[in-house]
Structure 1
Amino acid sequence: MWKRLLREPLVHFIAIGLVLFVGMTALKAAHRPTVRLDAAEIEQLAGYWSAQAGRQPTSEELKAIIDERVNDELLAREALRLGLDKDDLIIRRRLAQKMAFASEDAAPVREPTRAQLERYFRDHAARYANPGKVALRHVFISGDRKADDAHREVLKVLAVAGSNEGEPHGDPFMLPLTYADVAPRDLERDYGAEFVKAAETAPVGEWVGPIASPYGLHVLLVEARQPPHPPAFDSVRDLVREDLLAEARKAANTRYLDRLRQRYRVVVSGAPQ
Structure 2
Amino acid sequence: MTGPRAGLRRLLSEPLTHFVILGAILFACGQIYAARTNVFRIEITPAHVAQLSHKYALQFGGPPDPRTLDRLVRDDVHDEILFRQGMALKLDQDDEIVRRRIVQKEQFLLQNLSAPAEPTDAQLTAYYAAHRDLYAAPPRVTFSHIYFAVGPGGDAAAEARAKAVLAKLSTGTTRGPELGDAFPDLYDFSAFEPEQVERLFGHTQLSQAVYSAPVGRWSGPFRSAYGWHLIHVDARAAGGQAPLSEIADRVRSDYLQAASDRANAQAFDKIARRFTVVRQDVGTRP
* Correspondence 1:209-220 to 2 at 5 A: 209-213=221-225, 215-220=226-231
TM-score, reference length from structure 2: 0.68
2:221 aligned counterpart, secondary structure = strand
Q: CA deviation at 1:122?
A: 2.3
* Identity over aligned pairs, percent: 28
Does structure 1 retain, via aligned residues, the 8 Å contact 2:54–2:63? Answer: no
Aligned positions of 1:72-111 closer than 5 A = 72-111=79-118
Against the structure 1 CA distance between its residues 165 and 79, is the aligned structure 2 distance closer, same or farther, given a 3 Å change threshold?
Answer: closer
Alignment RMSD, CA only? 3.4
Q: Alignment length, in residue pairs? A: 238
Alpha-carbon distance in structure 2 between the residues aligned to 1:127 and 1:255: 24
The aligned counterpart of 1:238 is 249
SS at match of 2:262: helix
SS in 1 for 2:236: strand
Whether the aligned pair in 1 keeps the contact of 2:147 and 2:227 (CA below 8 Å) is yes
Would the aligned equivalents of 2:163 and 2:220 in 1 still touch at CA under 8 Å? no
Deviations 1:189-229 (A, max 9, x none): 4333323322223344450223213x433222323310123
**What residue number does 2:41 align with?**
33
3-state SS, counterpart of residue 222 of structure 1: strand
Cα offset for 1:175?
3.6
Q: Which residue, 108, 113, 119 being the options, matches 1:112?
A: 119
Return the alpha-carbon distance in structure 2 between the equivalents of residues 123 and 101 of structure 1. Answer: 29
Give structure 2 stretches of 5+ with no counterpart. Answer: 1-33
CA contact (8 A) 2:139 2:193 kept: yes
2:262 equivalent in structure 1? 251
Amino acid across the alignment from 1:182: F
Structure 1 unaligned blocks of 5 or more: 1-26
**Secondary structure at the counterpart of residue 86 of structure 1:** coil
Normalising by structure 1, what TM-score?
0.70
CA-CA distance at 1:106 after TM superposition: 3.1
> What are the equivalent positions in structure 2 for 1:1-273 lying under 5 Å apart?
32-36=40-44, 38-47=48-57, 49-50=59-60, 65-143=72-150, 146-147=153-154, 148-161=156-169, 169-194=179-204, 195-204=206-215, 205=217, 207-213=219-225, 215-270=226-281
Give the partner amino acid of 1:256: A
